[in-house]
Amino acid sequence: MQPVIKRSKQRDAIVAFLMTRKDHPTADTIYMNIKKEFPNVSLGTIYRNLALLSDRGDILKLSYDGADRYDACVDQHYHFICKECGEVTDLEMEPIDHINTIASASFKGRIDENVTYFRGVCEKCLKKGVDKAE
Protein backbone atom coordinates (compact mmCIF):
# COMPACT_ATOMS: atom_id res chain seq x y z
CA MET A 1 0.00 0.00 0.00
CA GLN A 2 2.49 2.55 1.13
CA PRO A 3 4.79 3.84 -1.59
CA VAL A 4 8.41 2.80 -1.51
CA ILE A 5 10.39 5.02 0.76
CA LYS A 6 13.77 6.27 -0.26
CA ARG A 7 16.23 7.46 2.24
CA SER A 8 17.10 11.10 2.52
CA LYS A 9 19.82 12.83 4.47
CA GLN A 10 17.36 15.38 5.74
CA ARG A 11 15.01 12.77 7.14
CA ASP A 12 17.88 10.90 8.76
CA ALA A 13 19.03 14.14 10.32
CA ILE A 14 15.55 14.82 11.70
CA VAL A 15 15.35 11.42 13.35
CA ALA A 16 18.90 11.72 14.66
CA PHE A 17 18.15 15.15 16.08
CA LEU A 18 14.93 14.01 17.72
CA MET A 19 16.77 11.18 19.40
CA THR A 20 19.21 13.58 21.03
CA ARG A 21 16.39 15.53 22.65
CA LYS A 22 14.66 14.65 25.84
CA ASP A 23 12.15 17.43 25.46
CA HIS A 24 9.69 17.31 22.60
CA PRO A 25 10.54 19.96 20.05
CA THR A 26 8.12 21.65 17.69
CA ALA A 27 8.53 21.59 13.92
CA ASP A 28 10.08 25.01 14.08
CA THR A 29 12.69 24.06 16.65
CA ILE A 30 13.55 21.02 14.58
CA TYR A 31 13.81 23.24 11.53
CA MET A 32 16.21 25.61 13.26
CA ASN A 33 18.46 22.76 14.28
CA ILE A 34 18.44 20.83 11.02
CA LYS A 35 19.33 24.10 9.36
CA LYS A 36 22.71 24.03 11.08
CA GLU A 37 23.57 20.94 9.09
CA PHE A 38 21.52 21.71 5.96
CA PRO A 39 21.34 25.48 5.63
CA ASN A 40 18.94 25.24 2.69
CA VAL A 41 16.47 22.85 4.23
CA SER A 42 12.91 24.12 4.08
CA LEU A 43 10.15 24.03 6.64
CA GLY A 44 8.04 22.15 4.11
CA THR A 45 10.56 19.33 4.12
CA ILE A 46 10.51 19.24 7.90
CA TYR A 47 6.73 18.98 7.97
CA ARG A 48 6.60 16.41 5.19
CA ASN A 49 9.09 14.21 6.96
CA LEU A 50 7.51 14.59 10.37
CA ALA A 51 4.16 13.61 8.88
CA LEU A 52 5.68 10.64 7.07
CA LEU A 53 7.55 9.46 10.14
CA SER A 54 4.60 9.76 12.48
CA ASP A 55 2.29 8.08 9.96
CA ARG A 56 4.68 5.15 9.89
CA GLY A 57 4.83 5.12 13.65
CA ASP A 58 8.54 5.88 13.75
CA ILE A 59 7.95 8.92 15.91
CA LEU A 60 5.09 10.34 17.93
CA LYS A 61 3.20 13.48 17.13
CA LEU A 62 1.94 15.24 20.23
CA SER A 63 -1.00 17.56 19.58
CA TYR A 64 -1.41 18.78 23.11
CA ASP A 65 -1.69 22.52 22.88
CA GLY A 66 -0.46 25.14 20.47
CA ALA A 67 2.11 23.85 17.99
CA ASP A 68 2.51 20.11 17.57
CA ARG A 69 5.53 18.48 19.17
CA TYR A 70 7.40 15.37 18.20
CA ASP A 71 8.87 12.55 20.21
CA ALA A 72 11.37 9.97 18.97
CA CYS A 73 10.43 7.58 21.75
CA VAL A 74 7.43 5.56 20.61
CA ASP A 75 7.35 3.27 23.63
CA GLN A 76 4.35 3.56 25.89
CA HIS A 77 4.90 6.52 28.17
CA TYR A 78 3.15 9.62 29.44
CA HIS A 79 3.82 13.31 29.40
CA PHE A 80 3.62 16.16 31.81
CA ILE A 81 3.05 19.75 30.68
CA CYS A 82 3.97 22.65 32.93
CA LYS A 83 1.30 25.35 32.97
CA GLU A 84 3.94 27.96 33.68
CA CYS A 85 6.84 27.28 31.35
CA GLY A 86 5.02 25.06 28.89
CA GLU A 87 7.74 22.44 28.95
CA VAL A 88 6.74 18.90 28.06
CA THR A 89 8.56 16.23 30.03
CA ASP A 90 8.29 12.48 30.35
CA LEU A 91 6.66 10.87 33.36
CA GLU A 92 7.87 7.63 34.83
CA MET A 93 4.78 5.66 35.67
CA GLU A 94 3.16 2.35 35.15
CA PRO A 95 0.87 1.98 32.12
CA ILE A 96 -2.76 2.88 32.68
CA ASP A 97 -4.38 1.14 29.76
CA HIS A 98 -6.95 -0.35 32.06
CA ILE A 99 -8.80 2.93 31.60
CA ASN A 100 -9.65 1.76 28.07
CA THR A 101 -11.65 -1.04 29.62
CA ILE A 102 -13.39 1.39 31.93
CA ALA A 103 -14.24 3.61 28.96
CA SER A 104 -15.47 0.70 26.83
CA ALA A 105 -17.95 -0.40 29.47
CA SER A 106 -20.91 1.62 28.24
CA PHE A 107 -19.73 2.58 24.77
CA LYS A 108 -20.94 1.09 21.53
CA GLY A 109 -18.04 1.94 19.27
CA ARG A 110 -14.51 0.55 19.33
CA ILE A 111 -11.92 2.15 21.59
CA ASP A 112 -8.39 1.69 20.31
CA GLU A 113 -6.35 3.92 22.53
CA ASN A 114 -6.31 6.69 25.05
CA VAL A 115 -4.42 9.92 24.88
CA THR A 116 -3.45 10.98 28.35
CA TYR A 117 -1.20 13.64 29.69
CA PHE A 118 -0.91 15.52 32.92
CA ARG A 119 -0.85 19.21 33.65
CA GLY A 120 0.46 21.10 36.63
CA VAL A 121 3.58 22.96 37.65
CA CYS A 122 7.03 21.48 37.21
CA GLU A 123 9.64 21.32 39.95
CA LYS A 124 11.65 24.14 38.43
CA CYS A 125 8.70 26.55 38.31
CA LEU A 126 7.51 25.55 41.77
CA LYS A 127 10.88 26.64 43.15
CA LYS A 128 10.80 29.86 41.21
CA GLY A 129 7.52 30.51 42.95
CA VAL A 130 6.16 31.33 39.55
CA ASP A 131 2.99 29.67 40.69
CA LYS A 132 0.88 32.66 41.67
CA ALA A 133 -1.69 30.63 43.52
CA GLU A 134 -3.89 30.45 40.43
Q: Under the criterion CB under 8 A, does residue 120 sit at the interface with its own copies?
A: yes
CB 45 to DNA: min, Å:
3
Q: How far is CA 128 from the centre of its chain?
A: 26
Q: Under the criterion CB under 8 A, does residue 125 sit at the interface with its own copies?
A: yes
CB 94 to DNA: min, Å:
30
Q: How far is CA 34 from the centre of its chain?
A: 17
16 three-state secondary structure: helix
**Binding partner at 118 among its own copies, DNA, none, C-beta below 5 to 8 Å by kind:** its own copies
Residues within window 59-98 making contact with its own copies, judged by CB under 8 A: 63-66, 78, 80, 82-83, 91-94, 96
- Which secondary-structure segment (H or E) carries 82? strand 78-82
The angle, 0 to 180 degrees and rounded to 10, between the axes of the packed helices 27-37 and 43-55 is: 120
**Binding partner at 26 among its own copies, DNA, none, C-beta below 5 to 8 Å by kind:** DNA
Q: Under the criterion CB under 7 A, does residue 27 sit at the interface with DNA?
A: yes
Among 16, 22, 28, 55, binds DNA (CB under 7 A): 28
45 within 8 A of 10, measured Cβ to Cβ? yes
* Smaller CB separation from DNA, 44 or 109: 44
In whole angstroms, what is the distance from residue 103 CA to residue 27 CA?
33
Q: How far is CA 26 from the centre of its chain?
A: 8
The residue ranges that bind DNA (CB under 7 A) are 3-11, 26-28, 38, 40-45, 47-49, 51-52, 66-68
